[in-house]
Chains A and B, each alone.
Chain A
Amino acid sequence: MAETEKGFEPKIIAFCCNWCSYAGADLAGSMRLKYPANVLPIRVMCSGRISPHFILKAFQRGADGVLVTGCHYGDCHYIKGNYITKRRVTIMKDLLKFVGIDPRRLRADWIAASEGDKFAKVATEFTEEIRALGPSPLRG
């Protein structure tokens, strides 16, 4: 899995909460900051809405990486959704690892509405990391 296949373009699903990180992604766009087209943002109302099932389904359908983003602690519009998110992602990473899926394929990060630059940075960094990991072993 180490060698990166020539021409491998990672498919990355980014779940973004409406209030912060999706707005951050939007801002990245209006600031004309470049982030890789590999990253497909999906808007949800709160990172707490990102059911662990969504993460599993993304991998099942061939995502090479899944990015879960929400508001910074203290900023969640539903008060504490992002704390639950963090807990879920922690357990999920370990479960993925246990069955042989590299836990680095799942990442959680907090991005404010004003942080268009952070969104672009995280998206770019993560895409490169996934590119280095190669295609998901679950890709059919």
Chain B
Amino acid sequence: MENLKKNIKDMLESGEIAGFLGLIEEEGHPIPFLFTKDSLDKLDALTVPDIRYPMTDILLKIVRKYPEDTIGVMVRGCDDRALIELAKNQKILSDLIRPIGVACTKEMAEYCRCSQPYPREIHYGEKVEGVKDRSDLEKVESMDLSDRLDYWMGQFSKCIKCYGCRNICSMCFCDQCTLEDDTLILTGQAPPEIPIFHLIRAFHMAGRCIDCGLCEEACPAHIPLRSLYRKVREDMADYLGYVTGMDETERDPLEFLGSDGYEVPTKIDET
């Protein structure tokens, strides 16, 4: 921890970064904090707790405000995957971001059912193996079609349209949100039109979602949103060989055709 603090302090003092987005403990609560040269004393309160914050979502707000500055940020595996996607989508310039990587504990990896609980580069913590768990998908897949629809409509009908799922998501960076487009979805009513409200978001997450699970955690109605996005994430891998959050130079095959052949998936199981 002391090394970490010193590292951040050095980067701020030397001007390598203009700010560092991390967490501090304030009155017993970890909260996000943007360290600058002028708040080095605050580094004493720097903390790396076993809880999560949508760091890259906050980072995006900072970057929009200070587009010229180099910013450091504490990232876990999921945040790091988000950085990759944000760079791909030209929301950040990787050259202007200094990620400080934190590896998650075994407990966290299990809690998050996380396939990759570590960032590209680890500055803090010990790397543990990911968790392979698709039991949430299997639960749905074990039902027949009409039970599935009943299940999902029951879940969706609990929605209070708080937009929490969208607001917490680092991958929801659009300037205009489809969920508020009344030519597609009736606006001004809660619960929203279902299933379209949730399916539009689910389809949008194909080729974007980095499977951090924050949306599901944020949903006050406890809708198992993440399994929808995990499903399309899996489909993108199965049909199009594309996994988000891996490589900045890859392109979303739903948006870019690519130049080396554009094989069309044929493996469509309609049973």
On A, residues with C-beta under 8 Å from B are 1, 52-53, 56-57, 59-60, 73, 80, 83-84, 86-88, 90-95, 97-104, 137-138
Contact = CB atoms under 8 A, between A and B. Distances in A.
B42 interface: no
Given A100-B145, A100-B148, A86 B195 contact: no
A95 to B, nearest CB: 6
Contacts of B152: 99-100
Given A57-B196, A90-B239, A99 B206 contact: no
Closest 9 CB pairs of A and B: A100-B149, A100-B148, A60-B196, A99-B152, A83-B262, A86-B264, A100-B145, A90-B265, A52-B203
A99 to B, nearest CB: 5
Interface string B159-188: 000000000000000000010000010000
Contact of B146 (A60, A88, A94, A137): A137
A137 B149 contact: yes
Contact of B265 (A59, A87, A100, A101): A87
Nearest to B199: A56
7 contacts: A1-B146, A56-B184, A86-B264, A87-B239, A94-B232, A97-B145, A103-B268
Interface residues of B, number: 37
Interface in B23-65: none
Interface in B217-271: 228, 231-232, 235-236, 239-240, 253-255, 257, 262, 264-265, 268, 270
A95 B147 contact: no
Q: Chain B CB within 10 Å — which of A1, A90, A92, A101 has the most? A: A90
Given A87-B254, A90-B265, A101 B235 contact: no
A23 to B, nearest CB: 23
A95 B200 CA distance: 10
B257 A80 contact: yes
A87 B264 contact: yes
A13 to B, nearest CB: 14
Interface of B: 140-141, 143, 145-152, 178, 184, 193, 195-196, 199-200, 202-203, 206, 228, 231-232, 235-236, 239-240, 253-255, 257, 262, 264-265, 268, 270
Given A87-B265, A99-B152, A100-B149, A56 B270 contact: no
Contacts of A52: 200, 203
A134 B241 CA distance: 35
Given A56-B200, A57-B196, A91-B232, 16 more contacts: A1-B146, A56-B196, A84-B255, A84-B257, A86-B264, A87-B254, A88-B254, A90-B235, A91-B206, A92-B203, A94-B268, A95-B202, A98-B140, A98-B228, A99-B228, A104-B270
Contacts of B149: 99-101, 137
B195 A138 contact: yes
Contacts of B262: 80, 83
A60 B240 CA distance: 27
A48 to B, nearest CB: 10
Nearest to B143: A100
B254 A103 contact: no
B145 A53 contact: no
A94 B152 CA distance: 15
Nearest to B234: A94
